[in-house]
Structure 1
Amino acid sequence: MAASTLVAPLLAPAGPTTASPTQRPLGPRQWPLGAVLPVALLALWEVLARLGVLPPNLLPAPSRVLTTIAELARTGELWPHLGFTLGRVALGFGLGAGLGTGLGALTGYLPLMRRLLDPLLQGLRNIPSLAWVPLFILWLGIYETSKVVLIAVGVFFPVYLGVMTGIQQVDRKLVEVGRVYGLAGLALVRRVFLPATLPAYFVGLRNGLGLGWMFVVAAEIMGANKGLGFLLIDGQMTGRPQTILASILLFAVLGRCTDSLLALLGRRLLHWQDTHGTSFS
Structure 2
Amino acid sequence: MSITEIARGYAPPREAESAAGSSGPARADLVRLTPATARGARVPRWLRRTTGPVVLVALWHLASSTGILPAEVLAGPGTVLSSAAKLIESGELQAAIVVSMSRAMTGLAIGGSIGVLLAVLSGLTRLGEDMVDAPMQMLRTVPNVALIPLLIIWFGIGEAPKIALIALATAFPLYLNVYAGIRGVDQSLIEAGRTLGLSRWGLVRHVILPGALPNALVGLRYSLGIAWLALVFGEQINATAGVGYLMANAREFFQTDVIVVCLVVYAFLGLAVDLVVRTLERIFLSWRPSFTGA
TM-score by length of 2: 0.86
Give 1:227's aligned residue.
242
1:158 and 2:173 correspond: yes
Higher relative contact order (CA 8 A, sep 6+): 1
Q: CA deviation at 1:22?
A: 5.1
Give 1:268's aligned residue.
283
1:84 and 2:82 correspond: no
1:129 and 2:126 correspond: no
1:242 and 2:257 correspond: yes
Give 1:197's aligned residue.
212
Q: CA deviation at 1:207?
A: 0.2
CA contact (8 A) 1:7 1:177 kept: no
Q: CA deviation at 1:167?
A: 0.4
Query: Pick from 56, 78, 92: which aligns with 1:41?
Result: 56
Q: Which residue type is aligned with residue 107 of structure 1?
A: S
Please list the CA deviations of residues 47-74 of structure 1 after superposition, one character each: whole Å capped at 9, or x if unmatched: 1101111010111111211221111001
1:257 and 2:253 correspond: no
> Partners of 1:169 and 1:11 in 2: how far apart?
21
Q: CA deviation at 1:141?
A: 0.7
> Partners of 2:146 and 2:210 in 1: how far apart?
37
2:73 aligns to what SS in structure 1? Answer: coil
Specify every segment of 5 or more residues in structure 1 that has no aligned partner in the other structure, as ranges.
Answer: none
Once the two structures are superposed, the pairs formed by residues 207-226 of structure 1 within 5 Å of their partners are 207-226=222-241
Q: Which residue type is aligned with residue 128 of structure 1?
A: P
Q: CA deviation at 1:187?
A: 1.3
From the superposition, tell whether residues 250 and 256 of structure 1 become closer, same or farther in structure 2 (CA, over 3 Å). Answer: same
CA contact (8 A) 2:119 2:175 kept: yes
RMSD over aligned Cα atoms: 2.3
Q: CA deviation at 1:253?
A: 0.7
CA contact (8 A) 2:6 2:189 kept: no
> Partners of 1:259 and 1:81 in 2: how far apart?
20
Please list the CA deviations of residues 199-253 of structure 1 after superposition, one character each: whole Å capped at 9, or x if unmatched: 1010001001100011000100011110111111111101101111111111001
> Partners of 2:164 and 2:31 in 1: how far apart?
39
Specify every segment of 5 or more residues in structure 2 that has no aligned partner in the other structure, as ranges.
Answer: 11-28, 36-42
How many residues get paired?
267
2:290 aligns to what SS in structure 1? Answer: coil
Q: Which runs of 4+ in 1 moved over 6 A?
A: none
Q: CA deviation at 1:185?
A: 2.3
> Partners of 1:74 and 1:109 in 2: how far apart?
53
1:8 and 2:23 correspond: no
> Partners of 1:11 and 1:144 in 2: how far apart?
51
Please list the CA deviations of residues 76-130 of structure 1 after superposition, one character each: whole Å capped at 9, or x if unmatched: 1112111100000110111111111111111011111111111111110001111
Structure with bigger gyration radius: 2
> Partners of 2:186 and 2:134 in 1: how far apart?
24
Q: Which residue type is aligned with residue 48 of structure 2?
A: L
Please list the CA deviations of residues 16-43 of structure 1 after superposition, one character each: whole Å capped at 9, or x if unmatched: x9995859xxxx9422211111110110
2:235 aligns to what SS in structure 1? Answer: helix
1:70 and 2:57 correspond: no
1:182 and 2:180 correspond: no
CA contact (8 A) 2:4 2:287 kept: no
Give 1:138's aligned residue.
153
Query: Pick from 68, 74, 82: which aligns with 1:53?
Result: 68
Q: CA deviation at 1:7?
A: 7.3
> Partners of 2:155 and 2:31 in 1: how far apart?
48
Q: Which residue type is aligned with residue 47 of structure 1?
A: L
CA contact (8 A) 1:10 1:191 kept: no
Q: Which residue type is aligned with residue 46 of structure 1?
A: H
1:111 and 2:111 correspond: no
Q: Which residue type is aligned with residue 204 of structure 1?
A: G
